[in-house]
Amino acid sequence: IFAMYKVAADCGHPVAASRVGNTYIDGNKASGVEKDEATALHYLMIGAENGNTECMFQVGHAFHHGIVFDADFDKAVFWYTQAAEADDDVRAAYYLGHIYHNFPGRQQQADKAAFWWQRAAEQEHLDSMFNLGLYYYNGADGLVQSKAKALELFKKSTAQNASFIEMLHQNGINLEALEAQVASETHPQRPSRPRRKRSKKSSSWHAFNVSASVIGAA
């Protein structure tokens, strides 16, 4: 069966190329296939070039992390973007945010990192939510600081994964204190007004009318 997939992959069939490439990643003794990352990437590239989004992501991942090839920012971004745009791949969107945030020898592009983390966060990707929350909390180039947005993202991510609470502490952020800060900024207390002294009530209609006329004239 593997041999048949390989023939199809060599003819450019994207699904077959994905199957063959992933078999070479770890090897398969039952099929007589030895682990061979270079051959794996060769077939994954065939799949990517023929429209297989999983292969697109895997090729991007290889260029990102320097698997077989040297790490290459531009090629990683290209293939991650292909996957993210073709199939709304949440992993590709997350890694695009990561690569724009930090890649050796490249200047950080926080606005692009935020764009892709936002895309992933909209698909409930927790790491992207948390990272985007840190951007809003600290402020970043091309992104307006917003403690309210940071709080919203932190609450969503920590509600689904408690380990993010420890990560907040590592970043010097106390969620309860942040919530109180946002609440005070959103609904600031109004200064109390001095209360006007009321004149004592009288059973005399004449006295009441006099008091009313004095207040009205003031």
pLDDT digits (tens, 9 = 90+) for 158-171: 999 999 999 999 99
Domain boundary among 23, 46, 76: 76
Whether 93 and 154 map to the same domain: the answer is: yes
Task: Check if the beta carbon of residue 32 is closer than 8 Å to that of residue 67.
Answer: no
Question: Residue 126 contacts by C-beta under 8 Å, 6 or more apart in sequence?
Answer: 156, 157, 160, 161, 164
**pLDDT for the residue 211:** 29
pLDDT at 193: 59
Q: Is residue 57 part of a domain?
A: yes
Q: Which of 41-45, 94-98, 173-177, 208-212 has the lowest mean pLDDT?
A: 208-212
CATH number at residue 174: 1.25.40.10
Distance CA 134, CA 115 (A): 14
135 shares its domain with 99: yes
User: Has residue 194 been placed in a domain?
Assistant: no
pLDDT at 107: 94
Buried b / exposed e over 39-78, threshold 16 CB at 10 Å, is: bbbbbbbbbbbbebbbbbbbbbbbbbeebeeebbeebbbe
What is the mean pLDDT of the segment spanning 120-125? 97
pLDDT at 141: 86
Residue 81 lies in a domain: no
Same domain, 31 and 11: yes
How does pLDDT run across 135-151, given as a tens digit for each residue? 999 998 888 999 999 99
Which pLDDT tens digit goes with each residue over 2-48?
999 999 999 999 999 999 999 999 999 998 999 999 999 999 999 99
Considering the domain architecture, whether residues 70 and 92 belong to the same structural domain is answered as: no
User: 144 and 158 in contact (C-beta within 8 Å)?
Assistant: no
169-173, long-range: CB < 8 A, 24+ apart? 171/134, 173/137
Single residue among 44, 76, 108 that ends a domain in this structure: 76
Same domain, 61 and 92: no
Give domain status of residue 110, yes or no: yes
Please name the residue ranges forming H helices in 105-146.
110-121, 126-138
* 35 and 123 co-located in one domain: no
Number of domains forming the structure of the chain: 2
Residues 43 and 114 both lie in one domain: no
Q: CB-based contacts of 53: which residues, under 8 Å, 6+ apart?
A: 82, 83, 86, 87, 89
Residue 191 has a pLDDT of: 56
pLDDT of residue 212 exceeding 70 = no
Report CA 161 to chain centroid distance, whole Å: 14
Say yes or no: 95 and 137 in one domain: yes
SS3 143: strand
Examine the pLDDT at 54 and tell me if it is beyond 60. yes
pTM, two decimals, is 0.81
Looking at the structure, do residues 19 and 39 belong to the same domain, yes or no? yes
Cα separations (Å) of 8 from 11, 17, 23, 43?
A: 5, 7, 14, 11
Confidence of residue 204 (pLDDT cuts 50, 70, 90): very low
Q: Which domain holds residue 150?
A: 88-187
**pLDDT average, residue stretch 82-106:** 96
Q: What's the token pair of residue 110?
A: 């926080």
Q: Do 173 and 120 sit in the same domain of this protein? A: yes
Residues 122 and 171 in one domain: yes
Residue 156 and residue 121 share a domain: yes
